[in-house]
């Protein structure tokens, strides 16, 4: 651990980066550059996660780490029992552990480390941290060292634990920093079937476009994006545990839109198969609005107020529903407006829905009876008619 003065400067720098409005890749690299001054490391993996499920949705890697072994990593992380798995780190006091300390100097006792990390990259210790703020896990951090004196000290673990909330806040803000651009239009859900070897054996029309928009390569020739590999591994583990849960994550695409991906074992007539079916579809407001609202860093009460605003409830109605005075509701709204960067309820509603709606509105996509944008072949809501003007397209 470096000097206390340097540590405090790094702590302050990380706090500043968390509110700088940086996109995720820029934020992650900037935060790692700052962190290594206080806790030196040879390589790092900064991962985002869906706070609803804890599943990894993307990574930024440094120090020679690459995406080439993501499928193996997902297998060890989600399918092989390991006390140092991220899902276990979340439950640790302080949300941090170092393998050397945790295993009495034998980090190879971790299957992931002993069978993948050390043989591939020759590291000698790993520090893992769950990045949480205000009750939500927004990502994870893995730091690696090699050579003499590689072990992460207790003081270094405490420092990383202490800046975990700031790192989580930066990740949370980062999902809102990228402006939406032209959305990738895919008619209906994209479906892929992945066999026991991790190969895509069949896919629906539009699946290649979805995978490409999530940062994957040519479908069938390149590995799937890590978020999808993690889903496949989680689905296999659920099947082995006879867990009926269907792993699901919300993902921001490269085009700026939101999709929901989920995975489950594909059953044959005999009931025995290791194939997994992946489904990727456009996110609907009930799925994505809670994530976007939480990403603004609102308190629990402020989120309750926003939920009612999005339903069109006025100040009096909000006060009655939450057992508050109208003045207190107005105070909460002022705080919300300041955090979101808007000046009115109308602007607030537009800000929450902008990322998902704007690309479709720009394309003048029709509305389906559900109130969401229609796919090809879905009957659209007729445009409103005026006795004097006639029909006009929705825009």
Q: Which two tokens stand for residue 342?
A: 């808007």
Task: Please give the pLDDT value at position 233.
Answer: 93
Q: Which two tokens stand for residue 196?
A: 């026991």
Task: Please give the pLDDT value at position 372.
Answer: 42
Report CA dihedral (108, 111, 114, 116) to the nearest 10 degrees: -160
DSSP 167-231: HHHHHHHHTTTSPP-SPPP-SS-EEEEE-TTS-EEEE-TTHHHHHHHTT--SBTTBPPPHHHHHH
Task: Please give the pLDDT value at position 183.
Answer: 54
Dist. CA 49–CA 61, nearest whole Å? 15
What pLDDT, in 10s, does the model give residues 237-270?
A: 988 888 888 899 999 888 777 889 999 988 766 6
Dist. CA 99–CA 142, nearest whole Å? 11
Q: Which of 283, 289, 90, 46 is nearest to 176 (CA)?
A: 289
Dist. CA 366–CA 381, nearest whole Å? 7
Task: Please give the pLDDT value at position 297.
Answer: 84
Dist. CA 299–CA 159, nearest whole Å? 25
Long-range contacts formed by 334-343: CB under 8 A, 24+ apart: 335/299, 335/302, 336/296, 336/298, 336/302, 336/305, 336/306, 339/296, 339/297, 339/298, 339/302, 340/296
What pLDDT, in 10s, does the model give residues 266-276?
A: 876 666 667 89
Low-confidence ranges of the chain (pLDDT < 70): 1-2, 178-187, 268-273, 354-395
Strand-pair category, 56-62 with 43-49: antiparallel
- CA atoms within a 13 Å half-sphere pointing along the CA-CB vector of 385: 4
- 51 in helix, strand or coil? coil
* Burial of 88 per CB tally in 10 Å (0-12, 13-18, 19+): middle
- Model-level pTM? 0.80
What pLDDT, in 10s, does the model give residues 24-39?
A: 899 999 999 999 999 9
Q: Which of 122, 113, 185, 208 is nearest to 362 (CA)?
A: 185
């Amino acid at each position: 651990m470096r000097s206390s003065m340097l540590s405090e400067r790094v702590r302050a720098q990380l706090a500043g980066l968390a509110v700088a409005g940086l996109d995720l890749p820029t934020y992650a690299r900037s935060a790692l550059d700052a962190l290594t001054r206080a806790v030196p490391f040879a390589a790092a993996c900064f991962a985002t996660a869906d706070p609803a499920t804890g599943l990894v949705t993307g990574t930024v890697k440094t120090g020679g780490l690459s995406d080439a072994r993501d499928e193996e990593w997902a297998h060890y992380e989600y399918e092989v029992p390991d006390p140092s798995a991220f899902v276990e780190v979340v439950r640790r006091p302080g949300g941090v552990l170092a393998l050397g300390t945790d295993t009495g100097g034998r980090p190879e006792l971790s299957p992931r480390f002993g069978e993948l990390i050390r043989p591939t990259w020759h590291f000698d210790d790993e520090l893992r941290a769950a990045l949480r703020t205000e009750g939500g896990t927004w990502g994870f951090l893995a730091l690696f060292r090699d050579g003499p004196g590689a072990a992460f000290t207790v003081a270094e673990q405490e420092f990383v634990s202490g800046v975990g909330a700031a790192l989580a806040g930066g990740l949370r803000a980062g999902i809102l920093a990228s402006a939406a651009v032209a959305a990738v239009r895919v008619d209906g859900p994209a479906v892929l079937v992945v066999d026991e070897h991790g190969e895509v054996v069949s896919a629906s029309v539009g699946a290649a476009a979805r995978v490409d928009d999530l940062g994957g390569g040519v479908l069938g020739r390149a590995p799937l994006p890590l978020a999808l590999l993690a889903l496949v591994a989680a689905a296999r583990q659920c099947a082995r545990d006879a867990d009926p849960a269907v792993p699901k994550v919300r993902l921001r695409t490269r085009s700026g839109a939101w999709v929901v991906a989920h995975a489950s074992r594909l059953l044959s007539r005999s009931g025995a198969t290791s194939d997994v079916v992946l489904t990727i579809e456009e996110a609907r407001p009930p799925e994505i609005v809670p994530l976007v609202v939480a990403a603004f860093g609102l308190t629990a009460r402020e989120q309750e107020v926003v939920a009612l605003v999005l339903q069109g409830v006025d100040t009096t109605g909000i006060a009655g529903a939450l057992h508050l005075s109208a003045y207190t509701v107005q105070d909460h709204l002022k705080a919300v407006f300041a955090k979101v960067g808007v000046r009115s309820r109308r602007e607030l509603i537009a800000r929450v829905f902008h990322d998902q709606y704007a690309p479709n509105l720009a394309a003048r996509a029709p509305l389906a009876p559900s109130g969401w944008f229609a796919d090809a072949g879905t009957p659209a809501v007729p445009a409103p008619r005026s006795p004097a003007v006639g029909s006009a397209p929705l825009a």
